[in-house]
Amino acid sequence: MTTDEAPQRGAPGAQEEPPGTPAAAPAATTPASSWRTLRRVLAPRATKAQLTVALLAALLGFALVVQVQQHRDDGLGSLRQDELVRVLDEVTRRGEELESEVVALRAQRAELVTGADTELAAREAAEQRALVQGILAGRLPAVGPGVRIVLGVTDRAIPPLTLYNVLEELRNAGAEAVQVNDVRLTASSYFVEGPEGVVLADGETIRPPYVWLAIGDPSTMSSALQIPGGAMAQVRGVGGTTTVTEVDELEVSATRDPVAPRFATPVPPEG
Amino acid sequence: MIAIVGLLIGAIIGLVLEPEVPAALQPYLPIAVVAALDALFGGLRALLDGTFDDRVFIVSFLSNVVVAAVIVFLGDQLGVGTQLSTAVVVVLGIRIFSNAAAIRRHLFRA
């Protein structure tokens, strides 16, 4: 009778399975005798069979420990081929997902960088434009080469129209920033005669001597002012004195705040 | 007693030596261990049944191990190694459970 197959073919094995038949068990299998058997067997006896059993048990213990350690040590080494293939598939698919994510993120980053560059360029251009237009509109002080004109009066006042002609002459000669005394002159500047014969430039009273500072090409402006019958000649014609000096660098320091247009609005850009 | 001592000695040797399992044997070692456990429980049950025989135990122990390993090897060759080793483990596990139940009834009448 084999040890491990006895339960399957022998009557005792079949008898043990249903728990409702303890009374049928023979006297040899009462717990007390079972314990006795166990104790008797456990007592060490150096028979050949016992030694063989011990050897087999040692083999089992050895194999058990080795297998447990082996299993704990290697993660992939003990897997079978199809399991390895599955793991490889998963890793590959995950890698592809990450790859495509990398591509998407790179594209997004490039987009953002380009957008930032465009925005930066637009801002720089806007700042540049603001500087240029600030000078032209009289909002910002300006430095540069130009002419300095001093118009003195003797006995008669210089009429506003003559002063305006000086401004027009400077504009024609390409003056980019002009001030007279402390008034910055712009595209909308005017000279009128105020009460008691004073001259108002853009509503500000200016008194002689009129000191003009104009930034532009000095020689062009200088010669434009002094041509026969020109602006300087007219000033002299009304009894004024004129001094025109070409200056390598002068500062137009007077500014004015441009008035926002009340009626004009920008033409909407054509879409 | 001598079997328990042998088990402990074998375990200690395994712990001390920490041998590498050869790659060719790796799929078969766990199955063989389970089969040997089954033989051990079967032997214990036979002992309590009063039908224990040393020679039978030794032969059944060795043949259990060899047959289990051979089944898994065959399964590997046929391409159903995973399923077959699962089947072997299930069968041996059921037998271990029923043997353990029989031992329990012998010792505790429950």
Q: How far apart are CA A181 and CA A149, in angstroms?
A: 10
Higher-confidence position of B90 and A256: B90
Among the ranges given (A12-26, A197-211, B27-41, B74-88), the one the predictor scored with the smallest mean pLDDT? A12-26
Q: Which range of residues forms the domain containing residue B66?
A: 23-108
> Under an 8 A CB cutoff, do A52 and B54 touch?
yes
pLDDT of residue A122: 93
Residue B98 lies in a domain: yes
pLDDT of residue A1: 39
pLDDT of residue A64: 82
Residue B50 lies in a domain: yes
pLDDT of residue A23: 41
Residue B36 lies in a domain: yes
What's the whole-number average pLDDT of chain A? 80
Residue B1 lies in a domain: no
Among the ranges given (A23-37, A79-93, A115-129, A254-268), the one the predictor scored with the smallest mean pLDDT? A23-37
pLDDT of residue B25: 77
Which token pair is A60? 């089992």
Mean pLDDT by 10 residues, chain B (110 residues): 77 80 78 88 85 84 89 86 87 92 85
Tell me the percentage of chain A whose pLDDT exceeds 70: 84
DSSP characters over A160-210: HHHHHHHHHHHHHTT-SEEEETTEEE-TT--EEE-GGGPEEETTEEE-SSE
Higher-confidence position of A199 and A18: A199
Q: What average pLDDT does the segment A188-214 reach?
A: 81
B chain contacts of residue A28, beta-carbon cutoff 8 Å: 50
Q: How far apart are CA A168 and CA A174, in angstroms?
A: 10
pLDDT of residue A126: 93
Q: Which of A10-24, A56-70, A162-176 has the highest mean pLDDT?
A: A162-176
Query: Which residue in A4, A44, A80 is closest to B64 by CB distance?
Result: A4
> Under an 8 A CB cutoff, do B4 and A42 touch?
yes
Domain total of chain B: 1
pLDDT of residue A27: 44
User: For residue A20, is pLDDT > 70?
Assistant: no
* pLDDT tens digits, one per residue of A39-75: 777 666 667 777 778 888 888 888 888 888 777 766 6
B chain contacts of residue A69, beta-carbon cutoff 8 Å: 14-15, 18
DSSP run (H or E) holding A213: strand A210-215
CA of A32 vs chain B CAs: smallest distance (Å): 8
User: For residue A2, is pLDDT > 60?
Assistant: no
DSSP run (H or E) holding A9: helix A6-9
Which whole-number Å values give the CA distances from A180 to A40, A214, A256, A264, B61, in the listed order?
Answer: 130, 9, 13, 28, 120
Instruction: Give A189's contacts (C-beta < 8 A, 6+ positions apart).
Output: A167, A183, A201, A202
Residue B86 lies in a domain: yes
Which whole-number Å values give the CA distances from A162 to A146, A193, A199, in the listed order?
Answer: 21, 11, 11
pLDDT of residue A45: 66
Q: Would you give the end-to-end CA distance of chain A in angstroms?
A: 101
Q: How confident is the model at residue A208 (pLDDT cuts 50, 70, 90)?
A: confident
Residue B65 lies in a domain: yes
Model-level ipTM above the cut of 0.85: no
User: For residue A81, is pLDDT > 90?
Assistant: no
Q: How far apart are CA B38 and CA B61, in angstroms?
A: 8
Residue B16 lies in a domain: no
A chain contacts of residue B95, beta-carbon cutoff 8 Å: 4, 7
pTM: 0.44
Residue B31 lies in a domain: yes
CB of A151 within 8 A of CB of A242?
yes
Higher-confidence position of A135 and A94: A94
Query: Which residue in A28, A58, A69 is closest to B6 by CB distance?
Result: A58
> Under an 8 A CB cutoff, do B64 and A64 touch?
no
